[in-house]
Structure 1
Amino acid sequence: MPWVADSILGLVVTATLVGTISARQGGTQQPDAIAYAWAAGLGALMLARRRYPRAVLGVTALGLFAYYSVGYPAVGVAVPLAAALFSAAEAGRLVTAAVTSLGVLGVSLMFRLMEGQDAAFVLGYDLAPHVTLMAVAIALGDGLRSRRVQQRSQRELRDLMARQYIQEAESWLREERLSIARDLHDAIGHALSVISLHAEVAREAIPVDDEVAGPAVRQVKAAASQAMRELRTTVGVLRSKPPGRSVTVSLAYLSPVLDTARAAGFDVEEQVEVAPGTLPRIIDAAAYRIVQEAVTNVVRHADASRLSVKVVAGTTRLRVFVTDDGPPSGKPVRAGHGIAGMTERARALGGSLRTRHEASGFTVEAELPLREPA
């Protein structure tokens, strides 16, 4: 604990000064209780050195002048100031410590020379130990401060790196959640829509008085609808930022998606002008998912009979068109998770997606780059 260290330093300062005073070297006044109280006072100042380093240094310097003005035995200059100089330098008050050292040394030299002490002895012999001790005290304090600053910087760097790792992990988790949400919506949602559609067709085809098949089909329809609602809730919870993860699907396996539309009664026209294996896998997978979702939307929502899927690879862009011949409903296009998911998927790869509803039908048009994003 800091106060324990400061207490020990104060005791060392007091003991050193008491020992020096007791040697009774020089001076015109014999040491008394005031002299020893002065030594104890300089030691007690160490308890305030962390909060008030400059004040402690100033009081120590003034106390030193007051001590010598009484004529007590010599205690030197550097010894009483060393701990205060160390404390000031440790607190980053390097200039204050240096200026105080020079000031005290200058005043001490002036008075000693004025008293007639030998200049050669004072300047050539006695000055060097004082300067050395003061310089060492300041250097030790500044070195300790620098080490603490370095340690604090290292801790801050470690904390920053830890926060970055946490943020990266959270970002990865968000992307994985969105990836799961998209796959759930694109794959399972597609299958549930087809189940619900065929259950509805079967229900209308079964005679009203059929007491076995009718309730069973209605139960299938209700279960599919409930599963779709729960799926939408799950997708809503999982949805987050767009991912950059590829999936193991491809335009080469588009036939089952289109066969589903054909089974639902649509006249499907397919035109995929892309050689297998020529697209980057992530682009290939994104194009497949966009077509799958667009076809699912047509099967679920469109009052149409014809469906056209066209995929064309240019020099730098892959263009995807999914068009149906359903008449305009007069209502704005509902930007649900399906269209939002397709748009996010395209944008995540540096592409775009547009929808338009014209007299000839509804069209989903997507453009994807023919290279993976950097």
Structure 2
Amino acid sequence: MVGQRSEREGRRGIRPWIIDVLIGAGVAVTVSVVITANQGGRQEPDPVAYLWAVGLGALMLARRRYPVIVLAVSVLGLFAYYAAGYPAVGLAVPVAAALFSAAELGRLAAATVAAVVVTVVSVVFRLAEGQDFSLVVGYELAGHVLLMGAAIALGDSVRARRAAQADARRIAELTAERYRHEADARLQSERMAIARDLHDSLGHTTSVIALHADVAREALGRDDAAVRSALDLIRSTATSSMADLRRTVALLRSREDARRTVVSLSNLETVTEAATAAGFDVDVEVRVDTDLPSPVEAAAFRIVQEAVTNVVKHSTGSRVQIQVRQDADHLTLAVADDGTGDGTAARAGHGIAGMRERAEALGGTFNAGHRDPGFVVRAALPLAVQS
């Protein structure tokens, strides 16, 4: 709080109470000089007249807290001064600062009413005393009205300028807050993307390793060739997973476009090898005519990878079909197996949710469910990806 207050004071420059003291001193000195001229009046200037001038200046110390009261006291004090018969000091000079202060603090109506009251009372009183109409109305009135109007206009312009500056600061604060929220949203989105990548990559790897570790254990001592094959697949799967993780970490550390993909549909053999090694016949059909946007290709690869992992973990079938096709507007893909429905419920976990999130994040569609026979995953990803 102290730091913020110091920053605000530094931005304002001179402290408000110093400004009020300067305005009050200016009022007292100006009115005192006019009184000293000793023009008109029935009574010579005395200490009371100068004390009145000091009092007008002292009122400026309360102008920010009580602008309307200061204005009213200034007007009544002016009337009392003239009623006492002291030398003329005009109309606008004694009340100009009070009019300015009221307008500056948003009391424009009060300032306008006060100026009208002072003018009307002065004109009526002077005409009632028999002063020349042409002098009072034709010569002096315009100058008094213009000076009081200028004081009010200046105060209102200062108020408007401060309000505009406050609005500009508020807009800047709201803009900065919006940028912070957007940054937080982007960070959260990136975290979700990383979580999905880790789930898909590590989930696929651990499923394959666990499956073939069981194969090696069952074949141990009975079929050395099967053991060696399972161990080789475990090693290659782990190596591929580590390479995938290294590429992901390198991308996260890079200052370049973070939307590049570290996976490609051209590497689907790393996915299909696990299904083949698990005893599935795998049919792969990829029809892609042009380079795909990186987010689309990454999402397609991960969806296929997770779908094949679910087949290896849950399907009782023997065949997997993978189709990836590109048309004018979309990339469509399907992963299906011919197993029975026993494993359908087991697949409705984080894997299905993650695949759906990937598709919908790009504005695409996703559905997965049982068919007769087997289970099928379908997704349609738009090629026009918003940045």
Instruction: Give the TM-score range, shorter chain.
Output: 0.7 to 0.9
What CA distance in whole angstroms lies between the structure 1 residues aligned with 2:21 and 2:293? 71
| 1:1-374 equivalent positions in 2, closer than 5 A | 1-207=15-221, 245=259, 247-272=261-286, 274-277=287-290, 279-314=292-327, 316-329=329-342, 332-333=345-346, 335-373=348-386
* Paired AA for residue 17 in structure 1: V
Q: Structure 1, residues 201-238: CA drift from partner, whole Å, max 9, x if none? A: 21222259xxxx9xxx9xx99xx9xx9xxx9xxxxxxx
Deviation at residue 170 of structure 1 after TM alignment: 2.1
Residues 261, 299 of structure 1: 8 Å contact kept: yes
For 2:51 and 2:174, the matched residues in 1 are separated by: 50
Counterpart amino acid of 2:35? I
After TM superposition, the structure 1 stretch with the greater mean CA deviation from structure 2, 354-363 or 279-288, is: 279-288
TM superposition shift of 1:94: 2.5
The code of the aligned residue for 1:323 comes to A
The answer to whether the Cα contact below 8 Å between 1:14 and 1:43 also exists between their aligned partners in 2 is yes
Contact 1:179-1:245 at 8 Å conserved across structures: no
Q: Which has the higher contact order (CA 8 A, sep 6+)?
A: 1
Write the letter of the residue equivalent to 2:17.
W
What does the per-residue CA deviation read over 1:31-71, in whole Å, with 9 as the maximum and x for residues that have no partner? 44443333232222212211222222122112211221222
Matched residue SS, 2:38: coil
Mind listing any 5+ residue stretches in structure 1 that lack a counterpart?
232-243
* Equivalent AA in structure 2 for residue 107 of structure 1: V
Please identify, of 74-83 and 23-32, the stretch whose mean Cα deviation from structure 2 is larger.
23-32
Matches of 1:301 and 1:35 in 2, distance apart? Answer: 103
Supply the distance in 2 between the matched residues of 1:33 and 1:98 (Cα, whole angstroms). 32
How far apart, in 2, do the equivalents of 1:330 and 1:264 lie? Answer: 16
Count the aligned residue pairs. 346
> Is contact 2:314-2:347 (8 Å) kept?
no
User: Contact conserved, 2:44 with 2:87, CA < 8 A, in 1?
Assistant: yes
Answer yes or no: is the 8 Å Cα contact 2:82–2:88 preserved in 1: yes
Scaled by the length of structure 1, the TM-score of the pair is 0.82
The alignment partner of 2:297 has SS state of helix
* Counterpart residue type for residue 311 of structure 1: V
Distance 1:246 1:339 in 2: 24
If the length of structure 2 is used for normalisation, what is the TM-score? 0.80
Give the alignment's Cα RMSD to 1 decimal.
2.9
Q: Percent of aligned positions with the same letter in both sequences?
A: 54
Q: Shift of the alpha carbon at 1:104? A: 0.9
Shift of 1:327: 2.5
Q: What is the alpha-carbon distance in structure 1 between the residues aligned to residue 262 and residue 22 of structure 2? A: 70
Q: Letter of the aligned partner of 1:112 in structure 2?
A: R
After TM superposition, the structure 1 stretch with the greater mean CA deviation from structure 2, 278-287 or 7-16, is 278-287
CA contact (8 A) 2:344 2:369 kept: no
Q: Secondary structure at the match of 2:342?
A: coil
What SS does the corresponding residue of 1:329 show, helix, strand or coil? Answer: helix
Gaps of 5+ in 2: 1-14, 246-257
